[in-house]
């Protein structure tokens, strides 16, 4: 079984003590590629260096909405410079996060629009974070009809999922899908076509049920694949094969 982790912050400081061991466990678990999105401009060099050190780690550069206070006006132009020079497989992580309110909504929207414009201009997929903001993201995407990507850690409705799929987006699912209390999310995945799904860990965050209250890591991705397989009454191999093909298709992986 070969799997692709479509969203893992492999450069995160939480992995500094044992990154080599985390990487080895991922390989042993059948993880053949990891998309590692950035969160701030300050972390881009660290991500770049980490990806150069480990085969199969593919960086994406972006500006995360939860770190909007750290983003400066010139970071969008700096991001374009990185895109041109580094030729990443995606832009992100970016998006909207209104979990704590909408005090910085204007800045979040400005940054997301800027990154959507870069995705359109450079023909790159985009990795979008949307917490309590799925509808806001869908409405913004209307102005960028050619932009494709993934809504990671998807938490919206079936109707919203269909609109995103129609726009050319995949939907990412990770640890929360394995939680027994996530009945709405599980019911949703039962109804979605497998060729629209991506598997992710969001490590070191969002650990699955089998490893709750511990640090997450890419080696736990098979837990997500098994959950999807059970929900859709498919073999785990079928889920692994199709979701990996989805990731290859979206991110143009080698």
Domains in the chain: ranges and CATH: 3-251 (3.20.20.140)
Q: What is the pLDDT of residue 252?
A: 98
Tens digits of pLDDT across the chain (254 residues): 899 999 999 999 999 999 999 999 999 999 999 999 999 999 999 999 999 999 999 999 999 999 999 999 899 999 999 999 999 999 999 999 999 999 999 999 999 999 999 999 999 999 999 999 999 999 999 999 999 999 999 999 999 999 999 999 999 999 999 999 999 999 999 999 999 999 999 999 999 999 999 999 999 999 999 999 999 999 999 999 999 999 999 999 98
In what side-by-side order are the strands of the sheet with 149-152? Answer: 91-97, 126-131, 149-152, 169-173, 197-199
Residues in contact with 58: Cβ distance below 8 Å, sequence separation at least 6, in sequence order: 33, 34, 35, 36, 51, 88, 89, 90, 251, 253
pLDDT in tens, 188-227: 999 999 999 999 999 999 999 999 999 999 999 999 999 9
Distance of CA 209 to the CA centre of its chain: 19
Q: What is the pLDDT of residue 36?
A: 98
Tokens at 47, concatenated: 């991500």
Q: What is the pLDDT of residue 73?
A: 85
């Amino acid at each position: 079984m070969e799997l692709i982790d479509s969203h893992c912050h492999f450069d995160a400081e939480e992995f500094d003590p044992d990154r080599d061991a985390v990487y080895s466990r991922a390989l042993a678990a059948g993880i053949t590629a990891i998309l590692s999105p950035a969160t701030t401009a300050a972390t881009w060099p660290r991500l770049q260096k980490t990806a150069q050190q480990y085969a199969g780690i593919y960086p994406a550069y972006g500006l995360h909405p939860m770190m909007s206070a750290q983003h400066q006006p010139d970071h969008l132009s700096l991001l374009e410079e990185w895109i041109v020079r580094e030729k990443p497989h995606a832009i992100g992580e970016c998006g909207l996060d209104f979990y704590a309110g909408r005090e910085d909504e204007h800045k979040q929207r400005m940054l997301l629009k800027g990154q959507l414009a870069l995705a359109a201009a450079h023909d790159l997929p985009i990795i979008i974070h949307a917490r309590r903001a799925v509808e806001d993201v869908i409405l913004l995407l209307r102005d960028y009809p050619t932009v494709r990507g993934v809504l990671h850690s998807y938490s919206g409705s079936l109707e919203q999922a269909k609109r995103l799929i129609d726009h050319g987006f995949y939907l990412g699912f990770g640890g929360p899908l394995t939680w027994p209390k996530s009945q709405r999310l599980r019911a949703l995945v039962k109804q979605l076509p497998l060729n629209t799904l991506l598997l992710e860990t969001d490590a070191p965050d969002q650990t699955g049920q089998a490893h709750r209250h511990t640090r997450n890591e890419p080696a736990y991705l098979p837990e997500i694949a098994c959950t999807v397989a059970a929900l859709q009454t498919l073999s785990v191999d079928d889920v692994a094969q199709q979701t990996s093909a989805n990731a290859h298709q979206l991110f143009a992986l080698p």
